[in-house]
Amino acid sequence: MRVCVLGTGVVGQALSAKMADLGHEVMVGTRDVESLLARTEGGMAGGPPFSEWIGHHPTVKVGTFAQAAAHGEVVFNATVGHASLDALGAAGAENLDGKILVDVSNPLDFSKGMPPSLFVSNTDSLAERIQRAFPQAKVVKTLNTVNANVMVDPGQVGGGEHDVFVSGDDRAAKAEVTRILREWFGWRRVLDLGDITSARGAEMVLALWVRLVPAIGTWMFNLRVVT
């Protein structure tokens, strides 16, 4: 499948590498390709410069947001939350219309330092804002509640016996994303929260998530729903 991943940070890299390894035709999207490839500093999470990373993943293509979105049959939004709407605008509504748009972003606000708060919550969500801005796209919120490594290999935590959530208005799109989560990434427990408004709950998990990291001393964890 032709896949677009918008965003070249740790999340975008993890998703792109996994899907490319599975044989999918992946193109990552960025605002300025030349500037990205010219950077020599490492990533925020201590990873290598993108130019070095892409050298280890030669089948992954790099393009502008618009080029990547046009390439993809399915689009993953792995940009930082405060830039997501601008990035998707640069990708172009015409390149998103009718496609599944998997939203992995979070509305984290670092303006007052750590831990971050959320710039939208309770009565709205970033996923809903994206759906309103691109009404012809089929937005499905998922994977935003776990570390990038766990996104693509849930078996690293608790033997994979934990939950990932999906939210969206299009049932067929959620079914396809659920298939992708299970077959591509190895998720066993996929919980459908409901329509796109349920993304509010998934995004607000981050308020707890950022507090759990220092409390338990690791990024490698997840939540499991038990009854």
Per-residue pLDDT of the chain (227 residues; tens, 9 = 90+): 999 999 999 999 999 999 999 999 999 999 999 999 998 877 666 678 899 999 999 999 999 999 999 999 999 999 999 999 999 999 999 999 999 999 999 999 999 999 999 999 999 999 999 999 999 999 999 999 999 999 999 999 999 999 999 999 999 999 999 999 999 999 999 999 999 999 999 999 999 999 999 999 999 999 999 99
> Model-level pTM?
0.96
Q: How many domains does the chain have?
A: 1
DSSP state at residue 160: G
- The reply to whether 208 falls in a domain is yes
Structure tokens of 92? Answer: 């172009």
> Angle, nearest 10°, between helix axes 126-133 and 84-91?
20
- What CATH number corresponds to the domain at position 17? 3.40.50.720
Cα angle vertex 86, ends 140, 141, to 5°? 10
Residue 188 falls within a domain, yes or no?
yes
Could you tell me the residue range of the domain that residue 162 belongs to? Answer: 2-216
Q: Residue 126: left if φ>0, alpha if ψ -120 to 50, beta else—which one? A: alpha
Report the Cα 172 to chain-centroid distance in Å.
19
